[in-house]
Amino acid sequence: MADCIFCRIIAGKIPGDFVYQDDRAVVIRDINPQAPKHLLVMPKEHIASLVQTGSGQRDLLGHLIHVANEVARSEGLSERGYRVAVNCGREGGQLVPHIHFHVLGGRQLSGSLG
Ligand code: AMP
Ligand code: ZN
């Protein structure tokens, strides 16, 4: 998707701070971190949102959660804990329409999700 900011980062057309890459997924550091560690786990394939996924994406979604867990471990978050969050659609607070999982940690996060 030529006009998708995350597709442009994945394609190397604009800079991204890459933490991890494999054949299906990439992880970058969030440009506006909400915690000392704030990573974004996303598929290389352009999928706009969680609501666009179905049974055909089950393996990919499982892989993205697995990668989130692995990068949390490599960033030293496993022992103290961290949060994985997905914003979906307008009322879900999703600003970038390329599906991504936020991995947040390195401080005490509030119990509220609202
Ligand atoms: P969301 O609201 O779930 O769509 O989150 C989008 C996230 O992408 C926000 O936390 C932004 O700070 C982050 N973001 C936007 N542009 C960039 C960029 N060029 N590089 C890294 N993170 C970005
Ligand atoms: Zn995209």
Q: Which domain CATH number covers 15? A: 3.30.428.10
Residue 82 lies in a domain: yes
> Ligand 2: distance of its center to the CA of 24 in Å?
13
> Ligand 1: distance of its center to the CA of 30 in Å?
6
Q: For residue 66, give the DSSP letter.
A: H
Instruction: Please identify which residue in the block is written with the tokens 């440009």.
Output: 31
Our answer to whether residue 100 is catalytic in this structure is yes
Q: What's residue 111's pLDDT?
A: 85
Which residue has a Cα nearest atom 17 of ligand 1? Answer: 31
Residue 110 lies in a domain: no
| pLDDT tens track for 25-73 | 999 999 999 999 999 999 999 999 999 999 999 999 999 999 999 999 9
Q: What value, to the nearest 5°, has the Cα angle with vertex 5 and ends 74 and 89?
A: 85
Residue 14 lies in a domain: yes
Q: What's residue 112's pLDDT?
A: 78
Which residue has a Cα nearest atom 18 of ligand 1? Answer: 31
**Which residues make Cβ contacts (< 8 Å) with residue 57, sequence separation at least 6?**
47
For 51, list phi and psi in degrees, rounded to 5: -70, -15
Q: What's residue 19's pLDDT?
A: 98
81 φψ region: left (φ > 0), alpha (ψ -120 to 50), beta (else):
left
Q: Does the predicted model carry a pTM greater than 0.75? A: yes
Residue 32 lies in a domain: yes
8 Å CB contact between 13 and 110? no
Residue that wins the pLDDT comparison between 60 and 114: 60
| pLDDT tens track for 87-108 | 999 999 999 999 999 999 999 9
Domain containing 34 equals: 5-105
